[in-house]
A and B are shown apart, each in its own frame.
Chain A
Amino acid sequence: MTGIGAAGRLVQYRLENGMRLVTAPASTGQVAAVNLWYGVGSRHEVPGRTGFAHLFEHLMFQGSGNVAKGEHFEEIERLGGDINASTSSDRTNYYETVPAHALDRILWLEADRLATLRDGMTQEVLDNQRDVVKNERRQRYDNQPYGTALERILRLAYPEGHPYHHPTIGSMADLDAADLDYVKSFHKAHYGPDNCVITVVSELDPEDVRARVEKYFGDIPAREVVPQAPDAVLRAPLGGPLRDLVVETVPAAGVFLCYRAPAYGERGFDVAHLLSAVLGQGQGSRLYRSLVVDRPIAADDGGAAADVLPFRYTDSLLLVNMLARENVDGDTLEAEILAEVAKVAQGVTEEELDRARAVLERDHLQSISGPAGLADAISSCTQLFDDPELALTWPARWQDITAEEVRAAAERLLVDENRLVVRFDPEPAAAAEALEAEAQASAAAADAADA
């Protein structure tokens, strides 16, 4: 059973080489979801090598000792399976969902690249995937309106040299500088079974799954040298308000507010998460009601104006983002958002808190309602907190948080000194056209009134 149906039915093992395995039951038959979380992310990158953990994620699909380039994808697609991977600041995950009869093949493919990736890596493959990632950067950041917002936020939120100062995509120059020796040393440093959690969601008996994982991964040795974790301690407060004003081709003014919040896993983070939901998650949230429905000066985002960006090893971020309606300038929108944000410190009602809990619980349930999502949540909670059951019980963390705690968090966190703003304003030509249209509209309205 997925979702709450899996409660009490997770089984955890640790192999001798340090690899952690969790098994969980699936609610639909004949599938196996396999999910691996490696404890390496962009926080492990050093200056001049940004973007490497993510580029490396691409290389993991490009062949290993016994698997040809492209073959890993091909195997899964032939099975009608789902396959992908992602990189964040904290970790890199790899996942596939396949028909249950293919579980051994998947485990073997994953084990092969863990054990022998360095044997299959070539300069040609590196050059090709470097180009692919540079195009990914163009698609998601450089050719996309507001695409550089996160990069700008991280630059302001964490000081130079801090491991969370840069985004996972990295810079074009650093991507160009990647070399084959570094690829191999990165794999050796971070890709060991002792740095991996594997979760298998299926109908199979847990002992059966354990035996299979042991068979394919059990002989892979743990890393001999474990690299020292980067120092992610923040030695000074944000020192806000900080701001970055960007004037470029965007369709409307965009306001991105960001506040430092407690690290992922701390109670303070959960409070901040509820705070973000009160403010800007769902159409019952304050920002939606106030700035989209009542005024209305912000574009309809469907109720997705605020969220938290969870970081396990440093301060997380609470983000607020809205785009302006036509004829509304960035200054006006920013001032109105700030006014709404400031009001939370004056009080949060029980009804608002109940709604916020329900919204977060629904999202959580949705995320673990299928085998792939359940496997991912379990890997996450095991890798980051060594507690797989948390994947199922997470909503309970919100139950005893009070409205006063949320209000107090707002009073403490949502202040000028802890705030940064990234503002996108349309280029002057577009802005001038908008003002002209506004003037014409005002004139027309005046004419109508006269009539």
Chain B
Amino acid sequence: MSQNRPDLGTPASYTFPRPERITVGGGTVVAIDVPGQYLASVRLVHPYGGAVEPLDAMGVGALTSEVLEDGPDGNSSLAPALERHGAEWVSRINWDGFITGVDVPVGRLGEAVRLFADAVRRPALVPDDIVRRREQLLERFWLEAATASTLAMRSLGGQLFTGRYATPLAGGPVKLADITPEAVAAYHADTLASVAGTLVVVGDLSGVDLVELGKTVFGDTAPAPARTITEPAPPPGELPRVLVVDRPGSVQSALVIAHRAPSRSQVDLPRAEGIGEVLGGMFTSRLNLELRERLGYTYGAGARFDLRRDSGVFFMSAQVEADTTAHSITSSLEQVAKLREGGVTEEELTAVRDANTVGLPVTYSTARSMAGALVDMVVHDLPDDHVDTVRAGYERLTKKDLDSAAVEYLRPEEAVVIVVGDAERLRSPLAGTGVGPIEVRTPDELWV
């Protein structure tokens, strides 16, 4: 090794491909042609996330998403039909959108989209299928919650919100049990069967007739109505505080330190996400360097914002050796305090700015990631030049911007600390942290 470290040179300027937009009937097709990308990503976005579900039908969206896999013929018929075309079915709900789709070789696009459209618009909705899916979803809730980090994340909503966000997206283990086949059918009729939505298509589109695809998917459905946004209320309780979810015998604790944040449209994205990256969004972020690389307490620590249309959450997370739980919490809070008091370094500013500008070709190097960006734009009503606008925001970012963001967006005094671990072993060390009052619950007591 005789060479010196080579210069980076000048990065090429990056522009996110401008999507083609076509109005077809009541819907819109938004497409990006990527020559040579023979696996296409197709996504249909409906504006019906968990946040707008009625409180007496929490989980109906998640259950409907599952039931669509039973297909127009019922009895789990859809996935096998798509599998024969080499297509992969996608269906998921998040707080702000209901997203269905397929990933499929472009040569089979037409056939796969016909199957897909039938599945979304005309599912059989056989009551026996729905009951089976509901019971499976309920059981899966507990199977997944047996993983400490999953249980910690699912405990979060009830600590920060009242109303819909207090219950997990899939309705939780109690509310979901009340969803009837009739409720699923009604929900489907109102939201998916009759509403066009927006169709996202990314891949090698040479020879693909986007208007025909749109007609197949939209048919005679109506345009999606505008959504109303209501800021959810917080639950009562002293802040900051600690919730221990008892998991006897745990050799590690799953930690989440979280507080409320503004909604997506209310935050200045480069400032908020930038400070999140400095604290915990990168391998070289402060939390990871402290908890993993200096103290050796964890395999990895992180932090990020979860920004929704009508609210937001900021959280730090790690899984740490049981005996280091209390010190991991105080160390994490110390890192936040240092950042708020001392601001970011020039190196951190440069890292955040560069990562989110020159790094964009990496971020969007697959059809799936481009489709993901388009879905995000549709869900949040963002313009086609959104990626470039945010990039310009990062290019302008200053140290002052990030320093003020630390004070504005990181609010440890409003945090709830969730610890999933062995309560008996942790109670005394956690009391010693002085973070706030400690409550211990079993997982069964979280969602009643």
Interface residues in chain A, defined as those with a beta carbon under 8 Å from any beta carbon in chain B: 1-5, 26-31, 33, 65-66, 69-70, 73-74, 77-83, 97-102, 104-105, 108, 111-112, 115-116, 127-136, 138-140, 142-145, 215-216, 219-220, 249-252, 282-284, 288-289, 292-293, 296, 299-300, 303, 323, 325-326, 354-355, 358-359, 361-362, 365-366, 369-372
Contact = CB atoms under 8 A, between A and B. Distances in A.
B365 interface: yes
Contacts of A362: 83, 86-88, 103, 105
B321 interface: yes
B252 A139 contact: yes
Interface string B340-370: 0000000000110011111111111111110
B36 A1 contact: yes
A78 B350 contact: yes
B142 interface: yes
B296 A28 contact: no
Contacts of A282: 79-80, 83
Contacts of B105: 362, 365
A228 to B, nearest CB: 28
B114 interface: no
Nearest to B9: A101
Interface residues of B, number: 83
Contacts of A65: 1
Contacts of A112: 1
B83 A5 contact: no
Given A79-B362, A128-B293, 14 more contacts: A5-B36, A33-B365, A69-B293, A74-B284, A82-B362, A99-B361, A102-B8, A111-B1, A111-B3, A135-B299, A283-B83, A362-B83, A370-B366, A370-B368
Contacts of A108: 3, 5-6
Contacts of B14: 30, 99
Contacts of A128: 293-294, 296
Given A108-B5, A355-B83, A80 B355 contact: yes
B1 A115 contact: yes
B300 to A, nearest CB: 8
B355 A26 contact: no
A77 B357 contact: no
B365 A31 contact: yes
Nearest to B358: A99
A5 B293 CA distance: 42
Interface string B298-313: 1100000000000000
A80 B252 contact: no
B362 to A, nearest CB: 5
A328 to B, nearest CB: 10
Nearest to B248: A249
Interface stretch (B43-51, B132-140, B161-169): B132-140
B38 A28 contact: no
27 contacts: A2-B37, A4-B38, A27-B36, A27-B37, A30-B14, A30-B361, A33-B365, A77-B282, A80-B360, A97-B362, A101-B10, A116-B1, A132-B299, A135-B319, A139-B299, A143-B148, A251-B145, A296-B136, A299-B136, A299-B140, A300-B136, A358-B85, A361-B86, A362-B83, A366-B39, A369-B37, A370-B368
B88 A366 contact: yes
B448 interface: no
Interface in B258-310: 282-284, 289, 292-294, 296-299
A2 B320 CA distance: 40
Nearest to B352: A78
Contact of B80 (A28, A140, A283, A300): A283
Contacts of B85: 358
A139 B320 CA distance: 8
Q: Which of A131, A135, A323 has its CB near the most chain B CB atoms (within 10 A)?
A: A135
A254 B364 CA distance: 39
Given A3-B38, A31-B365, A366-B88, A284 B9 contact: no
B94 interface: no
B143 interface: yes
A106 B85 CA distance: 39
A300 B67 CA distance: 12
B143 A365 contact: no
